[in-house]
Structure 1
């Protein structure tokens, strides 16, 4: 059994979805591990991870629109407001999604569906440098 880890630095400049699939695939190839389990972990409380459709951008747009309706950016609704109107909603949206994903790896590739991609979801409206940790264990 072998294991490797690395960190991806992701610059975000808006709310939205930032695809990590290509970076993850490239790193997995470099590890040489053929079969195992990949963990993807987001080190932030106002950003998250998801596996979602990567073919039609309307899907990601609709999900973003839904989150804005589900968790509005209205400071009058929250006690924690000192970091801006989008901060507390970002924490809630992050809690509703994932900060850690487990993805099987077979033949050196993440086992994803035809239309699936791995995304960092930025829930804040301003620039951030986000860190996503990748860890693979396998053979």
Structure 2
């Protein structure tokens, strides 16, 4: 298995960060032809989504999270910024992992699909993402 961990600076606002560039760079370094790419986010308040980006879906996702998991006082988990408890619920809806087939050195995603880091935790502007390639 070839693996590495990268750092992503997400800032102080909820964000959908497209990992396509980082994934392609990793697969070149892995010299992987065919196999499985596993992406892991080792955080209790971030997740991964496979979605279309750039056409509004990323901001729609942030808006939907805001409606489904409002940043208010309903959460029992109360440390951090106001409503931070919802950030700890997020990974139940957007898991911290994704697996993508790799064929001829490229991730096999749909035409408009991207693997994205989704981070709504405004208290932690730096995230780690681990890529692991299993040759097959």
TM range (shorter): over 0.9
Question: Is the aligned partner of 1:87 residue 2:84?
Answer: yes
- The aligned counterpart of 2:121 is 124
Matched residue of 1:98: which SS?
coil
Q: Which runs of 4+ in 1 moved over 4 A?
A: none
- The aligned counterpart of 2:68 is 70
Matched residue of 1:80: which SS?
coil
For normalisation by structure 1, the TM-score amounts to 0.91
Matched residue of 1:86: which SS?
coil
Contact preservation (8 Å) 1:55, 1:115: no
Q: CA deviation at 1:50?
A: 1.0
Q: CA deviation at 1:55?
A: 3.8
Q: Which runs of 5+ in 2 are unaligned?
A: none
Q: CA RMSD in A?
A: 1.3
Mapping 1:1-139, distance limit 5 Å: 3-13=1-11, 14-56=13-55, 58-75=56-73, 77-138=74-135
Q: CA deviation at 1:126?
A: 4.0
Q: Which runs of 5+ in 1 are unaligned?
A: none
Aligned length: 135
Instruction: Give the whole-Å Cα distance in 2 for the aligned partners of 1:34 and 1:8.
Output: 21
Q: CA deviation at 1:4?
A: 0.3
Q: CA deviation at 1:125?
A: 2.2
